[in-house]
Amino acid sequence: MEKRLENMLLAVWTVSLVATAGSLYFSEVRGYIPCELCWYQRILMYPMVVIGAVAIFRKDFRVAVYTLALSVIGGLISLYHYGIQKLPALQDSAPSCGQVSCTGAYINWMGFVTIPFLALTAFIIIAVLSLLMLKRQKETN
């Protein structure tokens, strides 16, 4: 039973690490300047790499509460960000995001995959894994 929890925790850490590395690749290698909403998503994703690493080392599965909270909030921001990129009705009412427009898309793979979409995918995966970890912990107690 504990091995499954360890694997889920490792998966949470891996997803957060890949998402963090991806965002750093886009900004530091490709030179894409993050908009304000991208920064909020980063603020919620980056700590999960450290939190996850410490939790793996300590085998602390209670971290799922924190990763769930961070991923739900981050996912909501990503969903809104993706919406203002893809839905004209939201673009018209989108707030000014500062130096870089939040409605712009540096990438648009296959016509729908943008950076906020990638972040949303990572946040959803982390949220689902966190929920499964919490459920498994409840079953074992």
The pLDDT of residue 1? 57
pLDDT at position 112 over 60: yes
- Average pLDDT estimate for 22-38: 95
Contacts of 96 (CB under 8 A, 6+ apart): none
Pair 94, 103: CB distance under 8 Å? yes
pLDDT in tens, 71-87: 999 999 999 999 999 99
Q: With 80 as the cut, is the pLDDT of residue 114 above it?
A: yes
pLDDT given for residue 56 in this prediction: 97
Q: If you search the block for the tokens 């690749």, which residue do you land on?
A: 25
Three-point CA angle 121, 126, 127, nearest 5°: 95
Give residue 101's pLDDT: 85
Find the mean pLDDT for residues 27-45: 95
Average pLDDT over residues 93-107: 80
Take residue 19 and report the two structure tokens written for it: 């998402």
What one-letter code names the amino acid at 106? Answer: Y
Average pLDDT, the chain: 94
Model pLDDT, residue 53? 98
**Please, what is the angle between helix 2-24 and helix 64-86, to 10°?**
40
